[in-house]
Amino acid sequence: MNKSQVITLLVASNVFLVSLLYVSNYWNIHWPVESIPHGHINKESEYVNPFKVYEEYPIDLVNASAIFNTVHGALKQKDANLNPVGVSFIPAYIPPNTRFYHSTGSPEIPESFEWIAMEYEFSYAFAQFQKPQNSTKPPPFPKKPPGAPESGNKHKHLPFFGDAYLYSFRTTRALDKVILLDGASAAKYSPLMDQQMILSRQKNTSAPVDERIAAEKICDWGQSFGLQGIIRLEIGFEIIVCDFQRDLELISNVTLDTTIDTLSIPSGSDGSAPLIKKFSAQDSFENLRMSSYVNDGDRRIKLDFSKMVTPLNKTYIDPNPFARNISYIDNELKEDIIGELETFYATTKIDPYETTDWQVVTGLIENKFGPLFDTINKTFTFFNGSEESLEILGEDLLTLTFNFKRRYNDINHHIDRDQYGFNSSILDYVHHTYPLQHNDILIYSSIFKVQFEISTMMFDIYNLGRDIVDKVSDLEVLKQRVAIKQKELVEFLDILRWTIFVDCTEKCGLNSVCYVPTWGPSPFGWGQRNEKFFDNIDGVYSISKNLQCVDFDDLLALRHQW
């Protein structure tokens, strides 16, 4: 496909064209202006073959995989915690009448920007249960442990004392100028706050991000194009709403009584009531439960991936999403990100409805091939070098890949049948729905690259299995081929880094939660300081593949320790 064909498909209107040209300058993509046709494209029939897009805009597997995972994991609690250092900016859209929750000690609606939670349990936790005797009463979350990284933030959303108001708001109209910062972007630590560092144009990149200052600067920056807020993940999704007065309406205002007074809960000898600990643990548990409900995505919020802005594939970024950071990237690239976002919000419509929902595409791929690769990976480990074991391995590898191969093997296709089947297996999975626009090209090419490598691996393993079963060569040669392919698969899965491989080893009951640890303050303490849930490999904290079920008792036990 030549560029003019790409353009044909990209140009939906003249307005769009202007923005496209403007945006493309940022990434130095020079579109041939003279060849751009006028008029509208036919939404029903346009289809761009991903082979052609990839040919024009290639991408290496590591970058492609990072983009695949960014798209696949966006607005999913589990994926965000497993890829905690987010580096991308994804335009979001929130329908009218969506509920937001805010608990506060103030009897007024916030004058300017403030935080809201998507779950009321999250916001309610800030209100406390007992009117404290004095202001040194411990907050519901434990204090930052000694030695934890300084965040320097003065988060106003800290537990407050005295009267507590629980406010519920509704959005008075669709919010279409909201940015999702992927990863655990409200976890208070560097580098999880790097996207906010960039948007707030923080000069000292080694200083922590003060999230209140950053929020103010970001909302100020967004005034010119009407930014309504930024979505982040702490122990649940929360939004910094830039203007409560403009975009929200108060629909419920509950002044909380202090439980200990109303229900005449018996006090312990130290003046505290043991039952209060239970109430608090129960609230935390319900909060975790509702957060795990959005492990697969928060459907209250929609995303427009075509306008996703990311430094991925623009510069080197560590492929390990636990270790990467973007504080160091060139200032020019940082300004490009800011400029591209401004352009999208100022000149285009954020539209999650008539743009391709790439999570549908990545979801089919990950759910189809994740379990297969996991089984194949385990199958290799059972091989012990004996002839009998090799035979078993051959049959197993063939069994796991045979149907995939056969399903694309058209006997009427006489020329290049294998290649044809291989191509078809990619085209089956990699397609767009609505016409490609803006940064869809980057995503489309990335998903193509990932699926290309998946199909290659599946066909290779099929061939290996068949050759073992057919005994095409002697034992030693086959054993060598097995060792090579096994190594390739392990390396490939390491690059894919799919979250489907991370799970609880047993199914948790209804009264427990498969807990994906969060990175900031949480009912379990401050993120990575909790060794029960985090690994520390050479100073880099990460989350291991085996998650644990947690329940009310686990939370209560901790409350007794504080």
Other residues' Cβ atoms within 10 Å of the Cβ of residue 542:
16
Q: How many angstroms separate the CA atoms of 491 and 513, rounded?
A: 31
Would you count residue 2 as binding ligand NAG (CB under 6 A)?
no
- Short-list 500, 103, 30, 47, CA closest to 287: 103
Give pairs for 329-338: CB < 8 Å, separation 24+. 334/198, 334/201, 336/26, 336/27, 337/89, 337/198, 337/309, 337/310, 337/311, 338/198, 338/199, 338/201, 338/221
- Short-list 311, 361, 293, CA closest to 50: 361
- Short-list 231, 204, 205, CA closest to 218: 231
Residues 476-515 that bind ligand NAG (CB under 6 A): 490, 493, 501
Which of these segments, 58-66, 346-354, 455-463, 518-526, binds ligand NAG (CB under 6 A)? Answer: 58-66
Which of these segments, 112-120, 123-131, 336-344, 383-391, binds ligand NAG (CB under 6 A)? Answer: 383-391
**Closest to ligand NAG by CB, 206 or 264:** 206
Residue 123 token pair: 């916001």
Q: Kindly tell me which residue out of 14, 172, 253, 399 binds ligand NAG, with binding defined by CB under 6 A.
A: 253
Residue 465 CB burial class (10 angstroms; 0-12, 13-18, ≥19): buried
Q: Kindly tell me which residue out of 22, 57, 402, 434 binds ligand NAG, with binding defined by CB under 6 A.
A: 57
Number of residues that bind ligand NAG (CB under 6 A): 48
Task: Report the nearest approach of ligand NAG to the CB of residue 132 (Å).
Answer: 9
Which of these segments, 77-85, 200-208, 227-235, 393-401, binds ligand NAG (CB under 6 A)? Answer: 200-208
Concatenate the DSSP letters of all residues of 200-212 into one string: TT-S-TTSPP-HH
R_g of the chain computed on alpha carbons: 26
Task: Report the nearest approach of ligand NAG to the CB of residue 369 (Å).
Answer: 12
Would you count residue 313 as binding ligand NAG (CB under 6 A)?
yes
Would you count residue 264 as binding ligand NAG (CB under 6 A)?
no
Task: Report the nearest approach of ligand NAG to the CB of residue 285 (Å).
Answer: 27
**Closest to ligand NAG by CB, 282 or 377:** 377
Q: Kindly tell me which residue out of 5, 386, 480, 536 binds ligand NAG, with binding defined by CB under 6 A.
A: 386
**Closest to ligand NAG by CB, 51 or 221:** 51
**Interface characters, 407-426, with ligand NAG (x: CB under 6 A):** ---------x--xx--x---
Would you count residue 47 as binding ligand NAG (CB under 6 A)?
no
Residue 426 token pair: 């990619």
Q: Kindly tell me which residue out of 109, 213, 333, 504 binds ligand NAG, with binding defined by CB under 6 A.
A: 109
Q: Kindly tell me which residue out of 445, 463, 499, 522 binds ligand NAG, with binding defined by CB under 6 A.
A: 445
Asked if residue 340 lies in contact with residue 333, where contact means CB atoms within 8 angstroms, the answer is no
Would you count residue 377 as binding ligand NAG (CB under 6 A)?
yes
Which of these segments, 37-45, 219-227, 295-303, 385-393, binds ligand NAG (CB under 6 A)? Answer: 385-393
Q: Kindly tell me which residue out of 33, 34, 42, 107 binds ligand NAG, with binding defined by CB under 6 A.
A: 107
Task: Report the nearest approach of ligand NAG to the CB of residue 54 (Å).
Answer: 8
Which of these segments, 38-46, 228-236, 352-360, 378-386, binds ligand NAG (CB under 6 A)? Answer: 378-386
Rounded alpha-carbon distances, angstroms, from residue 408 to 275, 380, 452: 62, 25, 14
The type of residue at 118 is M
**Closest to ligand NAG by CB, 45 or 134:** 134
Whose structure tokens read 């594939």?
313
Task: Report the nearest approach of ligand NAG to the CB of residue 210 (Å).
Answer: 11
Residues 520-539 that bind ligand NAG (CB under 6 A): none
Strands 237-241 and 114-117: antiparallel
**Closest to ligand NAG by CB, 52 or 155:** 52
Could you tell me which residues are beta bridge partners of residue 230? Answer: 179, 240
| Three-state DSSP class for residue 103 | strand
Task: Report the nearest approach of ligand NAG to the CB of residue 247 (Å).
Answer: 15
Task: Report the nearest approach of ligand NAG to the CB of residue 326 (Å).
Answer: 8
Residue 503 CB burial class (10 angstroms; 0-12, 13-18, ≥19): middle
Task: Report the nearest approach of ligand NAG to the CB of residue 62 (Å).
Answer: 4
| Three-state DSSP class for residue 555 | helix
Residue 378 CB burial class (10 angstroms; 0-12, 13-18, ≥19): exposed
Task: Report the nearest approach of ligand NAG to the CB of residue 382 (Å).
Answer: 7
Residue 543 token pair: 């989350």
**Interface characters, 201-240, with ligand NAG (x: CB under 6 A):** ---x-xx---------------------------------
Which of these segments, 234-242, 438-446, 458-466, 515-523, binds ligand NAG (CB under 6 A)? Answer: 438-446
Rounded alpha-carbon distances, angstroms, from residue 110 to 103, 121, 156, 230, 240: 11, 20, 11, 16, 12
Residues 314-333 that bind ligand NAG (CB under 6 A): 314-319, 325, 327-328
- Short-list 335, 386, 3, 329, CA closest to 11: 3
- Short-list 105, 99, 90, 190, CA closest to 149: 190
**Interface characters, 135-154, with ligand NAG (x: CB under 6 A):** -x------------------
Concatenate the DSSP letters of all residues of 243-309 into one string: -HHHHEEEEEEEEEPPHHHHTTPPP-TTS--HHHHHHHHHHHHHHHHHHHHTTT--TTSEE-GGG-B
Q: Footprint of ligand NAG on this chain (CB under 6 A)? A: 51, 57-60, 62-63, 107-109, 134, 136, 165, 191, 204, 206-207, 250, 253, 255, 313-319, 325, 327-328, 374, 377, 381, 384, 386, 388-389, 392, 416, 419-420, 423, 441-442, 445, 490, 493, 501
